[in-house]
Amino acid sequence: MKKIIDNLKFLLLIILIGNLYANNIETLLDNFNQKNDLSQKTIESNRGHLILFNREKIEKIHAKSLKDILKTTPVIYHHENRIGIPDPLSSGAFEPYRSNFIRLYIDGVEITQGWMGSGLMLYGDVNIDFVDHIELYYLAPSFDTSVEPAYLTIFLYSKSPKRDKGAEIGLIQGSRGYGSQSLSYGDEKKNLSYMVNFSHTKAKRETIPNGTTTPLNRDFERTQLFSYIKSKNQTFHLQIMKKDTNSLAGMSYDATPIASHIDYLNLHIDYTLAIDEYWSAQFAYDWLKSDMVQLDDSPLAWSDALGSNSFNGIYKNSTYTAELTYKNRFDKHLITSGFKARYKKLDSLKKDGVETTISPFNSEGIYTIFFQDQYMLSEEELLTLGISYNHISRNGSIVDDSLLQLRLGYIYSTDNWSYKTYLYRTQFAIEPLTRYLDTTYLQDASQQTTLGITEEINYYIDSHKFKLMLLLMQDEHGLLEITSDIEGGNTKYFFTIFDYQYSFDSDNRINLQLYYALYKDIFNLDELEDTSGYLSITNSYEDFDFHNSLVWHSNSIDNRDYFDLTSSISWNISNDLTLTLKGDNILNRAKKTDLYRLNTATQTLMTPLKISPIDRRFTIELEYTF
Amino acid sequence: MKKILFIILLLVELQALERDSTLKLYVGVFSALSSQNIISVYTNDREYRDIFRDSRYIKLTSRVEDANIALVTNAKSLRYILNKNIIGYNKYPILFVTDYKLLKQTPYAVGAFYWRKGRSQLLFIRDRLSHYNIRLSSDYQKFIIDEL
């Protein structure tokens, strides 16, 4: 009898093991990859409307700079302004920097250029060899991350030495004399992990004919260092970027500069401490030196030039940020609260080598308190409430601002589908550089209030993923509105994004995205319709990876269709060595936007220049790990 | 999309392996390599020991000599195990590694499960498997290569 029971036990064990391995190894691998994707550790589906580029997607589409990501992302896309730096919200008019409310974070810490603008101005086309995955959220996904109000938030998360141990070299040579080199090294020792990435890019870019013998030039040379060291409860980052640029039209009203160069030197350091299970603190310091040389045959569009045809100035500015956050769970509530402070200072302006003070307005302090509650109504329903109050104080007789941000959300989620809806009230104040350059008119400029209602539906079945987002917004007293009385009016806009992903298997995937936006009263237009589509196909066959994608744009400004075709073929010669051929904007029909010009003699607008921020380029790349 | 969860992450947790999927995968791989119903595994990696601790199919050993399989996660552990002079073809334990470089460093490692460009890679080497008289089932054949 005992023998029979033993045999039955053995048989039961075999059946159990058999059932366990009914999950064949491919299924186990898929499950492992999905659950261990680093993005799964950082995204919070409770946060808001997310567009995710995980490591696999970044590798498959062979994105080498943030520009490669943003050029496919609805609402943002990639645009550059009249000085040739990333500025997705640029109108092409005479404005210092427009995308201040797009916030950029690396490993959860905001990178900011403080006085001069958002971190995006330098990091908008940053080399992303150090990046594991990228999350883009519409508006601010959570008040615990944002010191200042956000229209859109970009999170870059760096690679982990646990998965990218050792060294990696990347060498890229491209058409028109483009060259880029990157070296990374990461390791972990006992309770410490560290990573260093050094890259250098020299980009010869397409020039823009401007009717003179000297076309507009936007070549740049960038050297960047990204590094961190992490322990169980502490993280320290050090980032340095030097970017020397030919600054396109620069400060020339008619886009015919005689000389136009801006060289940037940027430093970012931060330290994060998880004090205990509930409390964390963060300190960050950002410093930027902007060395501007501008020369034209008529007065420059830059108030610090004081009506002169030339400007040779060096700005230095610092930003100090400190945060204290508390997060705890009480029964069905997840409470997050904290205090944040930021101090932006224009340290100095040296004109023609001489220390100069032009405006008494040279510092701004931002003090933020916030409270958030995520209340679990049931296992499938969540209510989220957030409130944030920002007080902005300024020197130089500039008025202070008090901003109130509110966010109310409801989420319903099951295994196959989810529904999210949010109500937003977000307030923005004009950033310091814009105000500094025009203190007379903007000393008491009103703040913008943005009201929004957003919805998102996700549906998953087998290998299909569907996503539909609907966002309806209204900007009151829009800072971005161009009107004759300086202060803006109301802009209403609606946009919708449909996203479909299908995996034939782990090697073959397709992604289709459609975007439609309707704006009322934006810039100097009564109505603007913007439509785009994105189709991406990635395939792997034996040692080869293929990627083909097409971005299509059309808008009611010129009713033209623009196509940006990107293709790449990677040959994985060995486990350590990969060779890639890539073409960007192969059809040379990527989206162009207007750069406005003003004839200063007659005070009339000239025909705008049409410029694409995406160069047509073919590259060959070698990646080696050791 | 799963049920709604509250997420409170510590910094260190960002890099940690997800327990359930990792355990299932290793139970699958180890069972393919070993004929034992309950497999004795040696590893000195704290994270993997934590993951394997509660498994019904894996028994953790504190001595490498007692193991059917030794899971090696770094060069120091590999040196420690090789210096024991107990590793050899057709002898237990079988070496399985989590780093491609370790696979290159020792001819005794039959396979590896490692990260490459952020994606996991599973690999077995035919010659080395045959030295241990291991025949993997058909669904593992696509992960077997002839040489490094």
Cβ of B29 under 8 Å from any chain A Cβ? Answer: yes
Q: Which residues pair with A408 in a beta bridge?
A: A385, A423
pLDDT band for position A204 (cuts 50, 70, 90): very high
Cβ of B135 under 8 Å from any chain A Cβ? Answer: no
Rg (CA), chain A: 26
**Cβ <8 Å between B118 and A132:** yes
Nearest to A382 among B2, B4, B148 (CB): B4
Q: How far is A586 from chain B (nearest CA, A)?
A: 26
Q: Cα(B31)–Cα(B24) distance, rounded to whole angstroms?
A: 11
| pLDDT reading at B11 higher than 60 | no
**Cβ <8 Å between B116 and A165:** no
Specify the pLDDT at position A575.
Answer: 87
pLDDT band for position A551 (cuts 50, 70, 90): very high
**Cβ <8 Å between A382 and B8:** no
Q: How many residues does chain A have?
A: 626
Specify the pLDDT at position A488.
Answer: 53
**Cβ <8 Å between B18 and A40:** yes
Cβ of B46 under 8 Å from any chain A Cβ? Answer: no
Q: How far is A524 from chain B (nearest CA, A)?
A: 42
Chain A residues touching residue B101 (CB < 8 angstroms): 166
**Cβ <8 Å between A36 and B7:** no
Q: Cα(A618)–Cα(A507) distance, rounded to whole angstroms?
A: 25
Tokens of B3: 């049920």
Phi, psi of A20 (to 5 degrees): -60, -45
**Cβ <8 Å between A25 and B115:** no
| pLDDT reading at B8 higher than 50 | no
Cβ of B136 under 8 Å from any chain A Cβ? Answer: no
- A-B contacts (CB, under 8 Å): 142
Average pLDDT score over chain A: 90
| pLDDT reading at A19 higher than 70 | no
Q: Tell which phi-psi region holds residue A348, choosing left (phi > 0), alpha (psi between -120 and 50) or beta.
A: beta
> What are the Cα distances from residue A427, in Å, to A180, A207, A391, A438, A518?
40, 39, 11, 21, 22
**Highest-pLDDT range among A7-21, A360-374, B89-103:** A360-374
Tokens of A504: 């034939």
Contact A241, A224 (CB under 8 A): yes
Query: Tell me: the pLDDT tens digits for A78-102?
Result: 999 999 999 998 988 888 898 999 9
Specify the pLDDT at position A43.
Answer: 65
Nearest CA to B119 out of A506, A623, A66 is that of A506
| pLDDT reading at A517 higher than 60 | yes
- What is the DSSP annotation of A307-359? T-SEEEEEEEEEEEEEEEEEEEEETTEEEEEEEEEEEEEEEEEEETTEEE---
Specify the pLDDT at position B1.
Answer: 39
In chain B, which among 105-124 make CB contacts under 8 A with chain A?
Answer: 115-122
Q: How far is B86 from chain A (nearest CA, A)?
A: 27
Least confident of A9-13, A126-130, A562-566: A9-13
Q: Cα(A100)–Cα(B12) distance, rounded to whole angstroms?
A: 32
**The dihedral formed by the CA atoms of A427, A425, A470 and A123, expressed in degrees to the nearest 10:** 30
Contact B146, B126 (CB under 8 A): yes
Chain B residues touching residue A14 (CB < 8 angstroms): 37
Domain ranges of chain B: 14-145
Element (H or E) spanning A149, and its range?
none
pLDDT band for position A471 (cuts 50, 70, 90): very high
Residue of A nearest to B24 (CA): A28
Q: Domain B14-145: which topology? A: Rossmann fold (3.40.50)
Nearest CA to A253 out of A303, A298, A306 is that of A298
Query: Tell me: the pLDDT tens digits for A273-310?
Result: 999 999 999 999 999 999 999 999 999 999 999 999 99
Q: What is the pTM of this model?
A: 0.89
Interval A243-271 mean pLDDT: 96
In chain A, which among 108-137 make CB contacts under 8 A with chain B?
Answer: 132
Q: How far is A16 from chain B (nearest CA, A)?
A: 10
